[in-house]
Structure 1
Amino acid sequence: MNAPAELLIHTAAGPAHVTTPAPRDIWWDLVERDPDSHVTQTPTWLACLCASGPYGDASRLYTFGDGSRILLPLVRRLRHPPRLGAEESWPAGWGIGGPVAPGGIGPQQARVLFDDLADRPVLRVGVRFRPGDTGTWERAAPAGFRPEPHMTQVVDLDGGFDTVWRRRFHTRVRRDVRRAENSSLQVEVDRTGRLVPAFQYLYDQSIERWAGQQHEPLALARWRRRREFPGERLAVVAAQFGADCAIWMAWRSGEPVASIVVLRHGPHAKFWRAAMNRELAHPVRATPLLNRLAIEEACEKGCRFYDMGESTPDSSLAHFKAGFGAVAHSSPRYSRERLPVSAAERGLRRVVKRVIRFQDA
């Protein structure tokens, strides 16, 4: 980690001191005191990015005149000249970033962050904000920052597992879980990374299934999915999180059937990844059983939320998560680009999808 730089910035909303990269002890202190901080806002998550991708720490600690502090998790993309690079919180596929602030964020402070990011000498700056912060940032966003809608689905664990099971799980999900419990499935949970190869085996099978569902050439699907989630990434996350990374695995006659990965920090549990052999898993409803067990454990550990991640509205995945009582929350991304690179990329993807008759699952 580079020695932190101390900067005094002057913005239209006022001055602030910036320390970058942010000192880890202060970052952890702010995370621990902010009850709304997510798993993906921790220094551990930053370490996962930097260890498994071409990223460097660009986090920024803002200190204001009244002594209040705001921590912005941020990475810069390496291997590019700064003017052609990006600073993001976080890059696509890495989930929710955004500021950590135990005392909340006022409109003036929000504008200072936006003004500072607008001055960054890079091609693109982007921040994905967590649910609940939307109004503050929407009002503070200056011209030039484009909002991009995202939705994340979260199960409220208030009341404990009995309440979640009886009042939030859909009848269909409870029925599926009972079916799985009466099957010949064996379930284990690994917190050491030992089951990473088994998960990857199932994930490779899932890629083939997704390609068929989306009418996507298998070679393209493998390239795209492995670029989004390379094989070593789960091993890195398991090593960084240790016991707070749980790989739940369902077996049948010695064969891996389905698996989910759940991360935990403080009151937040995050359902991060899933994979399965559908021919073996679906008839016995293995995945609902794994989520039921993970949610029960999250309740036992005192978690308040089970974050099931992002979904496309009205998709089959969104309906699956809603069956566990997951409620959709807005979690927008705001970005500023000096050149319209993202628009060009989106246009190219639309053309390719039309050519191959791609169907969103």
Structure 2
Amino acid sequence: MIRQDRPSLLLVVTFATLTTAITHHLNLSLPHRPHSIPSYEWGGEGWGVRGRRPQHHSPWIDNDTLPHHPTDLSNTLSQDKDGKFIFTVIQFPNVLCGSGISSGTCFTATECVLKGGTSLESCAGGYGTCCQVKMSGCGGDITVNNTIVTNTEYDGTFNEARNCVYKVVFDDTPNEICQIRYDFIDFDFQAPSTLGVCSNDMLVFENDRKSSYFCGKAPSSYHWYVETAGTTSPQSFSISTDSSSYNRKYAIRVSTIPCMQEVPTYCGQYYDGTNGTISSFNYDNGVYLAGLMYSICFRRNVNYCTYTLKPTSDNQYIGTPDALRLPMGEEIPLVGNPAVLGSSGLCPNFGNVALFNSVQFCLYPPSMTSTNRESAFYVTVNTLIDTTANRNPLDTSKSGFSFDWTANGC
């Protein structure tokens, strides 16, 4: 079962005269300042805090990290003439480390081996290792947080029909895990039809209410949140491909989100930085997907008030009855398309406050800045499964959206 791991514990043994110095050194050297736990000693009766009666069980001790019987350790350090020694336990959180395909979770080296992972690099100031757990193959149970799921041949491709079901096993105790985040590290499937429908290949999140399916190419750093509220473990997602000729591949990181860190339920994507790029799935690869209803949400950081959106290119289009809501707080002045005669005079008249869909012969302005300095900022996407082509009928190369975004200081 995927759970939020207890912080990793490391045992650092020293003699009494060195305890203060080493503890001080550890607190200074760790970037995340791991918790330094009070010193314990073995006095022949059990583990105990110095100056207190020894106890056989300590709530600070992780049985996976320390020996199951304390005499094993006392025998190892029997050189102390008094038969006593002092140790300090170093605690660090099991956070995501690395990036992209070279990412994992910060564990102790022993924990990494027990979880079947591979050590990538050091973390927690050298006291932990960035442990990557990877599942290659068609389907299976995902039980370790931040597991990376790939096709068997990755980073190669496959060209055949497959039906793979993955089950994410999580802690479904109330108020523990509220969401699962999927990071599309690499994803390249057959593109959708001109209607935006995934008719050849598809990835489906079984319990997701914001999406119907995914196919085509994932933009860089694309991710997706799926709710676990009202469901029980495990949660499944499936990957299906047909026999049509196409070289496919995928690498997806699966992470559970504790309820204390959950994002708003309507957010398919969530950004907590100050700049980046947002794009529709399969952007610049044919047409945008049908069957989506979600928001792209942005955390408002301290001392940041407004947001600026800049189109990455002019190859953008979300046509009626589909909708793309850009909540800039004031009218968006559309500009003319140089390829369309007379558009420069007409397009400014089509601007509106939210711009729910594109005008066929107009373009977004080079830059748009929101005016609301207090409310949450989020872009809303709603694409229907219907009989309307998901591309500009006047220029079929224009489809979807892509904006560079920046959070502006107050």
User: TM range, normalised to the smaller chain?
Assistant: under 0.3
Instruction: Select the structure with the greater relative contact order (CA < 8 A; seq sep ≥ 6).
Output: 1
Give the number of the structure whose residues are more often helix, by fraction: 1
